[in-house]
Amino acid sequence: MTETLLALEGLTKAYPGVVANRNVSFSIGRGEIHALLGENGAGKSTLVKTIYGLVKPDSGSMILNGATFAPADPGAARRAGVAMVFQHFSLFDAMTVAENIVLGMDIPPSPRAIAGEVKRVSHLYGLPLDPDRIVGDLSAGERQRVEIIRCLLQDPKLLIMDEPTSVLTPQEVDILFTTLRKLSAEGTAILYISHKLGEIAALCDTATVLRQGQVVGTCDPRQTAPREMAELMVGTVLQSPVRATRPEGPILLALRSLTAPAPQQFGTALKGIDLIVRGGEVVGIGGVAGNGQDELVAALSGEMSVDDGMVLLADVPVGRAPVNARRAAGLLCGPEERLGHAAAPDMTLTENALMTGVARKELANHGFLRWPAARDFAKEIIAAFDVRTPGPENTARSLSGGNLQKFVIGREIMQDPKVLVVNQPTWGVDAAAAAAIRQALLTLADQGVAVVVISQDLDELMEVSDRFCALTDGRLSPSRPARGLTVDEIGMMLGGAHDLEAPHLGASGSTDERLASHMKQDTRP
């Protein structure tokens, strides 16, 4: 048997209106890769924050290396040998790799010494980094390397990783897994949180499952089917999204040579993007983070103004129309960053529902806000998308990441859009919630809505999309029918090979020649 490194005994933590952890007990062995699974709001984040010294439990105890472990803060946890790579990177874009790593150290060495250590450790673990590179110039995968190397320089006994592959390409995931297996072989224990159950099965030795704050089971993920683990997490039978056969609809969204400079120093310029989306179809756009996804959403939502002829909504130019005008006309967008962009952290769910729903849900009358109607709208979202919260007067910040994601996506879906553009719609949500969101998007398409899904989850895109495009360095590939695309073809498209033969555009029956012809037409009045 593997020697125990960390033992949790009866950990309990309650917040007003909810018990986040209830009598949680399990152990992690030295060198073990241990998965922590659970649906959104199951208590995973509270538990790992307790281990890392960010949360103090109400009761229970922890034993690390045979001694009582009760870190007062993350610094104490790090000194005891616990390191954590968070889901959201905590890096400064304008600083170098070495400068960012020094900021995470309690006793930093000299600049020359840290540069040498970064090179040595990064190459040792197959995660090469140049310590002098500016972080803002790095890809998402390289930024994660910075976070991991910062942890490895602390020589941790336990490494906690929260959704580490959410922004990685399949090739980068392979590199990460090789690194984690090497660390495991050297005796470092890894507590791994992910909603990607296929990864859990490929990587982890043991999985502990939480549901509503309690441990409901432990399994060997190599011997347990991903669907079984998902159903153990949610306590019910999962329903797979169903795609209907839809008739060809009219063109509701057209992009014609959409070009825009990068809105900020480390952004990505959009370069001649052409695309049409018909009512009743789902177009999936894949790509590694940082290749223009945020800029594309900004150009479509109205947060970034472009030439009028570049964005058309049902043949009406809207490139210079402001956000609220586009929303009123039926072009709705859900950005990737849920806390701070899609939702105001310290505002209530009612207030957040009102901010984007005021026009299409008629939440104002002659300049006066209709608060009861806004509250009812928030309640409808909470009920329809199973948002786990005491009520609509709770702040957005009080929700778990997955529950907030369900709220912001549900808020857009329930406004009856003509065109819906969503970026990372199921990022950080559990299997059941992801299936529900994908089904809601498919149902919208069944109702004649034009849907654009931008995602780094290729399985998700293949599940919901009629057509697939790749976004690379601000350029969009010609679309391909999603059904029948191979992993190799997708990989080439994501790598920038945009000249692959594309015989048809999918369910609509349109060819690339018809697309090009349409793009040349001047539909401006």
Among 190, 207, 234, the domain-final residue is 234
Lowest mean pLDDT among 190-199, 387-396, 433-442, 482-491: 482-491
Q: Looking at residue 39, what is its pLDDT?
A: 83
- Closest among 356, 402, 400, 406 to 382, alpha carbons compared: 406
56 pLDDT higher than 60: yes
Full residue range of the structural domain in which residue 380 is found? 339-416
Q: Which residues are bridge partners to 26 per DSSP?
A: 8
Q: Tokens 């070495």 belong to which residue?
A: 98
Q: Burial level of 107, CB count in 10 A (0-12/13-18/19+)?
A: exposed
Q: Tokens 């090979």 belong to which residue?
A: 497
Q: Looking at residue 66, what is its pLDDT?
A: 94
> Considering its fold, how many domains does the chain have in total?
3
Q: Are residues 155 and 202 in the same domain?
A: yes
Q: Which residue has the higher pLDDT, 517 or 106?
A: 106
Measured from the Cβ of residue 367, the count of other Cβ atoms closer than 10 Å reads 5
- With bands split at pLDDT 50, 70 and 90, how would you rate the model's confidence at 501? very low
Interval 297-313 mean pLDDT: 94
* CB contact at 8 A, 420 and 330: no
Q: Looking at residue 370, what is its pLDDT?
A: 95
Which stretches of 10-130 are DSSP H helices? Answer: 44-51, 74-79, 97-103, 111-124
Q: Are residues 26 and 133 in the same domain?
A: yes
DSSP code of residue 261: -
Q: Are residues 20 and 133 in the same domain?
A: yes
382 pLDDT higher than 80: yes
- With bands split at pLDDT 50, 70 and 90, how would you rate the model's confidence at 419? very high
- Closest among 506, 500, 469, 499 to 484, alpha carbons compared: 506
Within 8 A by CB and 6+ apart from 170, the residues are 458, 487, 491
Interval 265-271 mean pLDDT: 87
Lowest mean pLDDT among 91-95, 177-181, 274-278, 492-496: 492-496
Reading the block at residue 101, the tokens are: 């790593």
Interval 110-135 mean pLDDT: 89
For 201, the 3-state DSSP assignment is: helix
Q: Are residues 259 and 175 in the same domain?
A: no
Residue 85: what residue type? V
Q: Are residues 40 and 126 in the same domain?
A: yes
- SS3 of 207-229: EEEEECCEEEEEECCCCCCHHHH
Q: Looking at residue 505, what is its pLDDT?
A: 37
pTM of model > 0.85: no
**Alpha carbon distances (Å) from 485 to 67, 272, 403, 450, 492:** 53, 24, 32, 22, 11
* CB contact at 8 A, 284 and 464: yes
Q: Are residues 132 and 172 in the same domain?
A: yes
308 pLDDT higher than 90: no
384 pLDDT higher than 90: yes
Q: Are residues 267 and 220 in the same domain?
A: no
Q: Looking at residue 217, what is its pLDDT?
A: 93
Lowest mean pLDDT among 202-216, 437-451, 454-468: 454-468
319 pLDDT higher than 80: yes
Interval 426-449 mean pLDDT: 88
* CB contact at 8 A, 125 and 70: no
- With bands split at pLDDT 50, 70 and 90, how would you rate the model's confidence at 263? confident
Q: Assign residue 274 the CATH number of its domain.
A: 3.40.50.300
Q: Are residues 120 and 144 in the same domain?
A: yes
Mean pLDDT score of the chain: 88
Q: What is the C-alpha to C-alpha distance for residues 402 and 426, in angstroms, rounded to an integer?
A: 8
Q: Looking at residue 499, what is its pLDDT?
A: 52
- Closest among 524, 506, 514 to 245, alpha carbons compared: 506
- With bands split at pLDDT 50, 70 and 90, how would you rate the model's confidence at 236? confident
Q: Are residues 186 and 85 in the same domain?
A: yes
Q: Using one digit for the tens of pLDDT, what is the confidence trace for 68-77?
A: 999 999 999 9
Length of the chain in residues, anyone? Answer: 525
Q: Are residues 72 and 180 in the same domain?
A: yes
Q: Looking at residue 525, what is its pLDDT?
A: 33
Measured from the Cβ of residue 322, the count of other Cβ atoms closer than 10 Å reads 13
* CB contact at 8 A, 70 and 19: no
Residue 141: what residue type? G
Q: Using one digit for the tens of pLDDT, what is the confidence trace for 332-352?
A: 999 988 888 999 999 999 999
DSSP codes, 176-200: HHHHHHHHHHTT-EEEEE-S-HHHH
488 pLDDT higher than 80: no
Among 215, 234, 253, the domain-final residue is 234
250 pLDDT higher than 60: yes
Interval 466-472 mean pLDDT: 94
2 pLDDT higher than 90: no
* CB contact at 8 A, 453 and 468: no
Q: Looking at residue 247, what is its pLDDT?
A: 80
Rg, C-alpha atoms of the chain = 24
- With bands split at pLDDT 50, 70 and 90, how would you rate the model's confidence at 1? low
106 pLDDT higher than 90: no
The H or E element containing residue 467 is strand 467-472
Q: What is the C-alpha to C-alpha distance for residues 32 and 319, in angstroms, rounded to an integer?
A: 53
Torsion (CA) 410, 414, 419, 422 in degrees, nearest 10 = 0
Q: What is the C-alpha to C-alpha distance for residues 300 and 294, in angstroms, rounded to an integer?
A: 10
Q: Using one digit for the tens of pLDDT, what is the confidence trace for 443-465?
A: 999 999 999 999 988 888 999 99
Complete edge-to-edge strand list for the sheet that includes strand 59-64 = 18-29, 4-15, 59-64, 67-68
Q: Are residues 84 and 154 in the same domain?
A: yes
Q: Are residues 388 and 303 in the same domain?
A: no
Provide the pairing of β-strand 270-278 with 282-286: unpaired
Among 234, 260, 275, the domain-final residue is 234
